[in-house]
């Protein structure tokens, strides 16, 4: 979450008149994240998060908002989108598509403990199970084609060692067929800053704006790569075991997923190394823009290339 598009008090007041949420009491920009403009908004009817979509395909936005509503109505701890007086969840503000969703309680954790990792593993499995009944479809905008294109775009802009690593990994990934693995709705960005806790209790999963239809094992790999590695690229085996076991207690991996697992972990690491490199090489303007360290995911990728994953 970042602030690329400024919103004034009067503009937000006018925007909120579309919704049955009461009068505006206050708002502030959110500096974390990298893609959309986000504000915390307080009104007479509660606390909200306002998102202005900066780069997402407008046609895909009903998928994300519909998924959030689908999951919330099934008891999943996700935010429920607000509806305007005429029943719309997708609107516009300052020329950008916009949505208002309930702000969930809790805080993200930087250093998760074992129980928190277990809860994230179970929540991800529940998302995969509940998502099977969601009829919407959306392709992964950061899938294999994006990774190939972005790697080729970035390669001339980085040093020789990084360029060689990108090219070698892209060649290795040509043997991975994620489409041949079990598919479903995935979060695709279930990092620590997208999960909220009150003490040991998981209270919210947020930021579904990379959600799509893709490999379930890939989504698990994305999540493990963030929650179970330090910024130095070192694996925390206890977190890994807790999260993976909790996920498998609700959804077991298939034989095909197990066979592909080492390359799936590498694909998930490559995706975030490339996206962070892209933001580093081609920075975007805006207030409170947050760019994450690309080398963290280079180290995770190198770990997976050099070390077999823990046995199931």
Report the pLDDT value the prediction gives residue 34, as an integer from 0 to 100.
61
Number of H helices, E strands in the chain: 9, 9
Report the pLDDT value the prediction gives residue 31, as an integer from 0 to 100.
76
Secondary structure, 3-state, 33-85: CCCCEEEEEEECCEEEEEEECCCCCHHHHHHHHHHHHHHHCCCCCECCECCCC
Report the pLDDT value the prediction gives residue 288, as an integer from 0 to 100.
45
CA angle in degrees (0–180, nearest 5) for 64-7-190: 30
Phi-psi region of 95 (alpha: psi -120 to 50; beta: other; left: phi over 0): left
Report the pLDDT value the prediction gives residue 283, as an integer from 0 to 100.
83
Report the pLDDT value the prediction gives residue 33, as an integer from 0 to 100.
52
Q: pLDDT (tens digit, 9 = 90+) per residue, 144-155?
A: 999 999 999 999
How many whole angstroms separate alpha carbon 286 and alpha carbon 214? 31
**Those residues with Cβ within 8 angstroms of residue 229's Cβ, 6 or more apart along the chain or in another chain:** 235, 236, 299, 300, 303
What separation in angstroms does the CA of 266 have from each of 11, 36, 75, 248, 309?
44, 26, 32, 20, 10
Positions in the chain whose pLDDT score sits under 70: 1-2, 32-34, 284-291
Report the pLDDT value the prediction gives residue 1, as an integer from 0 to 100.
40
Chain centre to alpha carbon of residue 300? 17
Q: Please give the full DSSP string across 202-265, using - where no structure is assigned.
A: EEEE---TT-EEEEHHHHHHHHHHHHTB-TTS-B-HHHHHHHHHHHHHHSPPPHHHHHHHHHHH
Report the pLDDT value the prediction gives residue 235, as an integer from 0 to 100.
97
Report the pLDDT value the prediction gives residue 290, as an integer from 0 to 100.
56
């Amino acid at each position: 979450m970042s602030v690329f598009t400024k919103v004034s008090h009067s503009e937000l007041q006018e925007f909120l008149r579309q919704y049955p949420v009461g009068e505006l009491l206050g708002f502030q920009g959110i500096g974390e994240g990298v893609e959309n403009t986000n504000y915390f908004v307080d009104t007479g009817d509660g606390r909200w998060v306002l998102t202005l979509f900066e780069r997402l395909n407008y046609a895909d936005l009903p998928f994300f908002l519909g998924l959030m509503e689908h999951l919330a109505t099934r008891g999943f701890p996700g935010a429920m989108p607000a509806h305007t007086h005429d029943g719309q969840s997708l609107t516009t503000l300052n020329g950008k598509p916009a949505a208002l969703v309930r702000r969930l309680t809790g805080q993200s954790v930087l250093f998760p403990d074992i129980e928190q990792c277990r809860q994230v593993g179970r929540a991800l499995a529940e998302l995969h199970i509940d998502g099977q009944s969601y009829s919407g479809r959306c392709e992964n905008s950061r899938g294999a084609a994006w990774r190939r294109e972005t790697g080729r775009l970035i390669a001339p802009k980085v040093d020789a060692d990084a360029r060689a690593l990108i090219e070698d990994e892209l060649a290795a990934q040509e043997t991975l067929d994620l489409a041949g693995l079990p598919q479903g709705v995935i979060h695709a960005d279930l990092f620590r800053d997208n999960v909220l806790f009150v003490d040991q209790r998981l209270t919210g999963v947020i930021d579904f704006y990379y959600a799509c239809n893709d490999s379930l094992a890939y989504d698990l790999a994305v999540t493990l790569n963030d929650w179970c590695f330090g910024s130095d690229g070192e694996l925390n085996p206890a977190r890994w075991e807790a999260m993976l076991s909790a996920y498998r207690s609700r959804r077991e991996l298939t034989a095909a997923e197990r066979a592909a697992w080492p390359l799936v972990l590498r694909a998930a690491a490559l995706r975030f190394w490339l996206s962070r490199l892209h933001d580093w090489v081609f920075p975007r303007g805006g207030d409170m823009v947050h760019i994450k360290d690309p080398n963290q995911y280079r180290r995770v990728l190198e770990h997976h290339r050099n070390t077999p994953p823990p046995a199931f």
